[in-house]
Amino acid sequence: MHITATAIVCAVLAHGEHGAVVRLMTPDDGLQPGYVRGGRSRRLRPVLLPGNLVAADYRARSEDQLAALTVELAHSRAGLHAEPLAAAAIDWATALTASALPEGQPFPQLYAALDGLLNAIEAAPSARGWGAALARYELLLLGEMGFGLDLTACAVTDARDDLIYVSPKSGRAVSRVAGEDYRDKLLHLPAFLLTGGGATDWPDIVEALRLTGHFLARDILTDRRAAVLASRERLLERIGRLA
């Protein structure tokens, strides 16, 4: 097995005295693990930061063997790790990717979306600049993992207009009229998740992240993977102070 790619660092786990098992998100081969000799060294620690882009070279004798991985820095986002809000966003997005995705399966849309999200965080460290992109990434990941929400029509009336709620049980949209009597039990659906664009304010960002977070916790981040939700809570706490 031989893979070369420009990839996103998502997770680093110490292995032995000096090495590390690293999970990278690649454009064509999905999430790929590899052993980096000296991965905990002073030279490689700044390279193997979550969110960094690296030129990766995987080599293994068989598909079942953990590949030997060598990396060179292609683009550093190390400076963002000194900014608490941006660092929390990067930690969460990469931890979610590493925890949720099966290894070795291609997810080109997720790679492009994650790269776009990280670029947005880099361009505008304030959550106003990337909060919507984070919610869309979580929504896309749910869909790619088979737990996509149906936001095309009202679950009750099949109406396609004035969709402002989502059922927390079915994951389907609900219109204003149909959901009026149950609004306290429904999740709010910000308009930007339907249109894919447009201006967003703090309440919309918070509601969108509450929506996606409900389904991530229920359907994907269960059992041992639930531990990564602590990263999300830290991020939401910081966003909540700004909202």
| Residues 208, 135 contacting (CB under 8 angstroms) | yes
Which pLDDT does position 199 carry in this prediction?
A: 56
Pair of tokens at residue 212: 């996606």
To which residue do tokens 């700004």 refer?
242
What is the architecture, at CATH level 2, of domain 1-76? Beta Barrel (2.40)
Average model confidence (pLDDT) across the chain: 93
Task: Give the mean pLDDT of 99-110.
Answer: 96
pLDDT tens, residue by residue, 51-65: 999 999 999 988 778
Contacts of 149 (CB under 8 A, 6+ apart): 139, 142, 143, 166, 171, 172, 173, 215
Least trusted range by pLDDT, from 14-18, 49-53, 80-84, 143-147 = 14-18
Percent of the chain with pLDDT over 90: 81
pLDDT tens, residue by residue, 122-134: 998 677 789 999 9
Q: What predicted TM-score, i.e. pTM, was given to this entire model?
A: 0.94
Task: Give the mean pLDDT of 190-209.
Answer: 84
Confidence of residue 151 (pLDDT cuts 50, 70, 90): very high
- Residues 202, 208, 211, 217: what is their CA dihedral angle, to the nearest 10 degrees? -90
Q: Where are the domains of the chain?
A: 1-76, 79-151+189-243
Asked if residue 197 has pLDDT above 90, the reply is no
The closest alpha carbon to 218, from 152, 165, 167, belongs to: 167
Contacts of 187 (CB under 8 A, 6+ apart): 165, 166, 167, 168, 207, 210, 211, 214
- What is d(CA 45, CA 75) in angstroms, rounded to the nearest whole number? 14
In terms of Cβ atoms closer than 10 Å to its own Cβ (0-12, 13-18, 19+), residue 42 is: exposed
